């Protein structure tokens, strides 16, 4: 400083120095500038030397507490200055609007953190010495924590303002837990806003109605309900039911293509076509009944794709059965592990148990080994000669359908939430309101889109088709009526000069809405029909084998409330019954025979007149009916329309084995409409029967099950207690916004990789073995009369249940051809059933 002052004094003297002569003002300015630069460089060097000394003292912890406090106080003041002068984080990019929360990422946020602060925080959070050597996951975690710490600092300096990452975390915690306390705790520890702030955010963006997306779309609606209990003695009801109808739209194409063409119902559906298709189906049923072959063989011949995979399934099990066989030297009959296990259990009086791993004996009341904690086995089973063959048995039926081609495009199907309805779609009035509003939103507001498909479950499908034929509208004026004669009379009075159509479908008000049954509900109701039909025969015994022993447990098992457990149970029945059928088929031949067992030999044996009547019945309900359910399930998962068409045709027959009026109409009506619709529309149906929202072409599902998944997600967003109408609307309106925010939040937290994990299917080998023991012990395949697994003699009409089902379907088709959609809400008279069944 003294040197600078000396130079200034020298320049300000009246006579210039003799040793330096200045020619002009430019030389003077250059001299002063060079002098200032040299002085500034000297000061910088001194400051750098001082900083190096301080840094070294900090690393070696040589500073006193007072020195550190003075140093860090200055550092904090510097950070405050930077935060107060940072106006970028106050822009729209960093606020709490849905667009900002759904697009802001860590890399963008890091750009606007001062480099000195960012470097300090990242170095502090890193355990390694070199930031360049850490992996991507660690770097992502450090960067996100850096952003969160800077949010706390920035919020504290600028008056506790709400920051985007913190608010996103609080919003996600609230949507995942619905907990007010969790949001309150977070608001005390970070700059996320209070619980009231989240509610205000919901209400603000929940006022905007959901729009119908552009392009070719498929829609679906179903009820979503919650039941909350009340313990108030004043209320008459002990539970409070809240219902909302959820609507989703699946985008088939981003631009309107096929739906710009006029494929409304009145353009291709008429009574004459319906009668022709019904007559053809009746002729086919009669030919099956009159065939010289067994009905089972004839139906399999009419469904070649299904027969191909049934053959593959059976021939994959035959080697397993053969590997378990052992020859009895005395009788020459075939014996296996299951039979040896039964014989030893029946002959042995030793009730003790043993641990096969530790070889320790226990009393019969003990369940697990004290040492290894493994389940104990009866000690008598230790004498078994053969051991079971290890194989994998899941609901996917091992590798049976691995080669089934998938017709789903290798892309994700985008689905958006539609405008909800605070009504229950279980009455004519409510369904009419929903259908009219869908027509208005999807077709009338869009001048290009002429029609859409609407996927629903059984009840709305039946009620909706009744409305299709009863809600008539004049295409010349706004006149509406519910009876066709009234419309004809209106034309005669008001539009005499205009030619009119006499077909009942032509003036349908809702003809732009093509209703489709959900494949998921067809699958569930097929399982329920099978369960009820075979309950007293063997499904009740299967429930006991699977530990459903009490009356309430059996009622739960029979109701098929949990579809996953139902499918697992039916898979046990399919494997166990098929194994036993194959075993008895092989056992019917002596070991002296050189026959090579296959699917063909099994079918010939089943068709033989000498085959046991119980074997024939159990083969029909197992190999034809039960396998068809699993084939339908696999066809849905891969959207294979060839196998879907065949299995739906068979399932339609099985629905006529018991009283199931809704799905009798659903299956017949869906088949008839598909037969008479234009080829281009039929191809659209086939391509969009099932699809995947994740992009996995092996995990497709019907739009009704896609909607079920969305209903579950919506329920997860509901706050505790009974939701109000406003709550339902807010959640539905904000759902797509929350989905985008959730996806972006998981990307920032590096959590999306966990979503790609595939759930492992449970191996059912032990359950199948237990079921085989029960079937073999019952001796049902040796009984001369048709009986259940418990020995109860069944009505002989059960032997002809396939014939009776075909006959019932033919009677129904005759009535349907006369009344068509009017039959949707009626029970067809003249049908005979083996047992009753309840609809969904």
DSSP per-residue codes, 743-759:
HHHHHHTT-GGGGGPPP
What's the CA gap between 608 and 610, in Å, rounded? 5
> By C-alpha distance, which of 65, 112, 114 is closest to 93?
112
**Residue 393 phi, psi dihedral angles, 5° rounding:** -130, 115
CB under 8 A, 24+ apart: contacts of 54-57: none
- Least Cα distance to 513 among 458, 422, 424, 437 occurs for 437
How would you write 10-65 as a 3-class SS string?
Answer: HHCCCCCCCCCCCCCHHHHHHHHHHHHHHHHHHHHHHHHHHHHHHHHHHHCCCCCH
List, for residues 629-663, the tens digit of each pLDDT value.
999 999 999 999 999 999 999 999 999 999 999 99
Q: How far is CA 561 from CA 149, 548, 555, 776, in A?
A: 48, 14, 10, 29
Q: What per-residue confidence (pLDDT) applies to 673?
A: 95
Looking at residue 430, its pLDDT comes to 94
667, 648 in Cβ contact below 8 A?
yes
d(CA 65, CA 71): 10
Contacts of 825 (CB under 8 A, 6+ apart): 462, 463, 466
Q: By the 8 A CB rule, do 768 and 393 touch? A: yes
The β-bridge partners of 229 are: 239
Residue 682 to residue 606: CA distance in whole angstroms = 38
> How far apart, in whole angstroms, are the C-alpha atoms of residue 280 and residue 809?
12
Residues 6+ positions from 679 with CB-CB distance below 8 Å: none
Q: What is the pLDDT of residue 131?
A: 60
Cα separations in angstroms, 756 against 696, 747, 752, 753: 10, 13, 8, 6
Residue length, the chain? 840
Helical segments of 60-126, H only: 65-84, 98-103, 106-111, 115-125
- Written as one string, the DSSP assignment of 691-741 is B-SSS-TTS-B-HHHHHHHHHHHHHHHSPSSPPPHHHHHHHHHHHHHHHHH
Closest CA to 360 of 346, 350, 351, 370: 370
Which DSSP string do the residues of 400-461 spell out, in sequence order?
TTTTPPP-S-SSPPPEEE---BSS-S-SHHHHHHHHHHHHIIIIIS-SS---EEEEE-HHHH
- Contact between residue 448 and residue 256 where contact means Cβ atoms under 8 Å apart: yes
φ and ψ at residue 24, rounded to 5 degrees: -155, -175
- For tokens 């002085």, name the residue: 39
User: What is residue 304's predicted lDDT score, i.e. its pLDDT?
Assistant: 96
**What integer pLDDT is reported at residue 15 of this predicted model?**
43
Q: What is d(CA 442, CA 213) in angstroms, rounded to the nearest whole number?
A: 9
The candidate with the shortest Cα–Cα distance to 458, out of 825, 831, 836, is 825
CA 337 to chain centroid? 39
Compute the C-alpha angle 168/127/114, nearest 5°: 55
CB atoms within 10 A of CB 152: 14
**Whole-angstrom Cα distance, residue 187 to residue 184?**
5
C-alpha Rg value of the chain to the nearest Å: 38
In contact, 539 and 531? CB cutoff 8 Å:
yes
> In this predicted structure, what is the pLDDT of residue 330?
45
DSSP string covering 650-675:
HHHHHGGGEE-HHHHHHHHHHHHHHH
CB neighbourhood size of 798 (10 A): 21
Sort 637 into a burial class: Cβ within 10 Å, 0-12 / 13-18 / 19+: buried
Tokens of 739: 């989905």
**Interatomic CA distance for residues 550 and 552, integer angstroms:** 5
pLDDT, position 229: 64
| Contact predicate 479/490, CB 8 Å | yes
Q: What angle separates helix 458-470 from helix 428-439, to the nearest 10 degrees?
A: 70
Angle at 103 between CA 97 and CA 108, to 5 degrees: 110
Return the domain boundaries, the chain: 2-15+27-62, 75-205, 337-383
SS3 215: coil
Token readout for 788 is 């259940």
C-alpha closest to that of 256 among 451, 440, 437? 451
Q: Which helix (H) or strand (E) holds 564?
A: helix 563-587
Residue in the structure block whose two tokens are 């396998």: 627
Q: Kindly give the pairing relationship between strand 658-659 and strand 835-836.
A: parallel
C-alpha 711/C-alpha 648 separation (Å) is: 26
Q: Which token pair is 529?
A: 């029909």
629 is written with which tokens? 């359910």
Q: Where are the alpha helices (DSSP H) in 236-303?
A: 265-268, 271-289, 295-302
CA–CA dist 488, 472 (Å, integer): 11
In 3-state terms, what secondary structure has residue 612?
Answer: coil
Distances (CA, A) of 391 to 323, 356, 509, 520, 552: 11, 20, 57, 29, 33
φ/ψ of 385, rounded to 5, equals -75, -50
Structure-block tokens of residue 444 = 């009338």
For residue 248, the 8-state DSSP code is: E
In whole angstroms, give the CA distance from residue 792 to residue 649.
32
Cβ–Cβ under 8 Å, residues 504 and 271: yes
Output the six-digit token pair for 405.
């081609």
In the chain, which stretches have pLDDT less than 70?
1-38, 86-94, 127-133, 229-239, 326-335, 344-351, 379-390, 398, 497, 499-504, 590-593, 752-760, 835-840
Cα–Cα distance, 639 to 646 (Å, whole number)? 13
């Amino acid at each position: 400083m003294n040197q600078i002052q000396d130079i200034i004094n020298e320049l300000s003297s009246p006579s210039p120095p003799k040793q330096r002569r200045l020619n002009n003002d430019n030389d003077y300015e250059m001299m002063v500038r060079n002098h200032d630069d040299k002085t500034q460089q000297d000061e910088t060097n001194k400051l750098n030397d001082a900083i190096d000394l301080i840094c070294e003292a900090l690393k070696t912890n040589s500073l006193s507490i007072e020195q550190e406090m003075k140093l860090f106080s200055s550092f904090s003041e510097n950070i405050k200055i930077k935060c107060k002068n940072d106006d970028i984080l106050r822009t729209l990019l960093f606020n709490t609007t849905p667009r900002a929360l759904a697009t802001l990422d860590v890399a963008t946020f890091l750009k606007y953190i001062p480099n000195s602060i960012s470097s300090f925080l990242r170095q502090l959070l890193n355990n390694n010495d070199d930031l360049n050597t850490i992996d991507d996951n660690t770097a992502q975690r450090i960067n996100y924590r850096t952003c969160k710490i800077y949010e706390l600092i920035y919020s504290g300096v600028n008056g506790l303002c709400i920051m985007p990452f913190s608010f996103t975390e609080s919003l996600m915690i609230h949507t995942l837990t619905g907990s007010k306390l969790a949001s309150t705790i977070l608001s005390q520890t970070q700059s996320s806003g209070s619980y009231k702030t989240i509610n205000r955010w919901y209400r603000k963006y929940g006022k905007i109605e959901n729009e119908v997306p552009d392009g070719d779309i498929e829609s679906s609606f179903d009820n979503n309900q919650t039941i909350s209990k009340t313990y108030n003695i004043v209320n008459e009801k002990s539970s409070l039911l809240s219902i909302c109808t959820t609507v989703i739209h699946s985008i088939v194409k981003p631009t309107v293509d096929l739906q710009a063409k006029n494929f409304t119902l009145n353009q291709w559906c008429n009574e004459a076509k319906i009668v022709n298709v019904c007559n053809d189906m009746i002729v086919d049923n009669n030919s099956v009944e009159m065939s010289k072959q067994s009905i089972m063989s004839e139906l399999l011949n009419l469904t070649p794709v299904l027969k191909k995979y049934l053959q593959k399934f059976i021939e994959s099990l035959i080697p397993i059965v053969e590997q378990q066989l052992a020859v009895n030297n005395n009788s020459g009959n075939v014996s296996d592990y299951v039979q040896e296990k039964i014989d030893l259990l029946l002959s042995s009086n030793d009730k003790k148990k043993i641990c096969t791993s530790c070889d320790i004996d226990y009393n019969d009341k003990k369940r697990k080994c004290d040492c290894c904690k493994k389940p104990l086995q009866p000690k008598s089973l230790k004498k078994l000669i053969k051991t079971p063959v290890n194989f994998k048995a899941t609901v996917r039926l091992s590798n049976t359908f691995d080669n089934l081609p998938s017709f789903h495009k290798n892309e994700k199907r985008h689905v958006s939430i539609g405008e909800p309805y605070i009504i229950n779609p279980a009455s004519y009035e409510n369904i009419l309101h929903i259908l009219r509003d869908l027509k208005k939103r999807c077709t009338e507001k869009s001048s290009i889109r002429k029609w859409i498909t609407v996927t629903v479950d059984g009840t709305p499908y039946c009620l909706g088709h009744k409305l299709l034929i009863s809600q008539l509208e004049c295409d010349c004026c706004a006149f509406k009526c519910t009876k066709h004669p009234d419309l004809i009379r209106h034309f005669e009075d008001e539009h005499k000069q205009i030619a009119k159509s006499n077909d009942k479908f032509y003036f349908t008000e809702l003809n732009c809405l093509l209703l489709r049954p959900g494949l998921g509900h067809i699958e569930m109701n097929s399982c329920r029909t099978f369960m009820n039909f075979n309950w007293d025969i063997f499904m009740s015994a299967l429930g006991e084998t699977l530990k459903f022993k009490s009356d309430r447990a059996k009622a739960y098992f029979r109701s098929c409330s949990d579809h996953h457990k139902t499918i697992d149970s039916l898979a046990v029945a399919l494997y166990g019954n098929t194994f036993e059928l194959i075993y008895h088929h092989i056992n019917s031949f002596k070991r002296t025979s050189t026959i090579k067992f296959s699917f063909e030999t099994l079918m010939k044996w089943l068709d033989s007149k000498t085959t046991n009547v119980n074997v024939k019945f159990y083969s029909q309900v197992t190999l034809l009916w039960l396998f068809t359910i699993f084939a339908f399930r696999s066809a849905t998962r891969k959207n294979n329309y060839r196998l879907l068409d065949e299995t739906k045709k068979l399932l339609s027959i099985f629905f006529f084995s018991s009283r199931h009026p809704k799905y009798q109409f659903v299956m017949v009506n869906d088949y008839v409409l598909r037969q008479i619709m234009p080829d281009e529309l039929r191809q659209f149906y086939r391509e969009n029967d099932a699809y995947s929202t994740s992009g996995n072409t092996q995990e497709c599902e019907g739009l009704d099950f896609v909607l079920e998944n969305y209903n579950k997600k919506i329920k997860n967003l509901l706050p505790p207690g009974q939701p109000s109408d406003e709550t339902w609307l807010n959640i539905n309106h904000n759902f797509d916004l929350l989905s985008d925010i959730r996806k972006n939040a998981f990307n920032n937290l590096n959590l999306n990789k966990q979503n790609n994990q595939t759930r492992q299917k449970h191996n059912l080998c032990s359950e199948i073995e237990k079921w085989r023991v029960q079937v073999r012990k019952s001796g049902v395949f040796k009984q001369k009369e048709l009986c259940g697994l418990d020995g109860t003699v069944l009505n002989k009409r059960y032997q002809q249940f396939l014939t009776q089902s075909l006959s019932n379907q033919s009677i129904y088709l005759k009535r349907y051809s006369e009344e068509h959609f009017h039959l949707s809400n009626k029970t067809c008279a003249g049908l005979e059933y083996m047992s009753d069944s309840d609809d969904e």
